[in-house]
Homo-oligomer: A and B are copies of this chain.
Amino acid sequence: MSFMNFSKITDYALRILSHIAKDSEKVYWANDFCCKLDIPFRYLRKLLTILSKVDLLYNPQEKVRGYQLSRNPNSIQFIYIVKATGDDIIEQKCFFGYQQCPLNNPCGMYYKWKKISKGLISTLESTNS
């Protein structure tokens, strides 16, 4: 059922970081995201913790609440967010789902599929807010 879509957690992470990037000086609280970004509150809180741990977000000063981007928004590629939240298996499987092609030579889908996934990856690499 999930096809050409990111997992929920990746979607949510992209929403959050894009939202923060709009005003990267501000310190955000969980409440700031909850309603606007349509993410269940408890799940959001869990996700924010995860994003802090992979160093995408941080608490701006020790012992102060809230979140900010951990670096310049222009330096955070979408591909990094996607990988950080688990969707890191791009290109690993062939079109037919085999871990490695059971044929000796690439099948007819190989180049078509390669082209599509390359296009997506380059888009994710070139996008940062």
Contact = CB atoms under 8 A, between A and B. Distances in A.
A45 interface: no
Contact of A4 (B4, B108, B115, B129): B4
B5 A120 contact: no
Contact of A93 (B5, B86, B129): B5
Given A38-B102, A102-B38, A112-B127, A97 B6 contact: yes
Contact of A1 (B3, B89, B95, B97): B89
Interface residues of A, number: 39
Interface of A: 1-8, 10-12, 14-15, 18, 38, 82, 86-87, 89-91, 93, 95-98, 102, 108-109, 112-113, 115-117, 119-120, 123, 127, 129
Contacts of A14: 95-97
Contacts of A95: 14
Given A109-B127, A116-B119, A98 B38 contact: yes
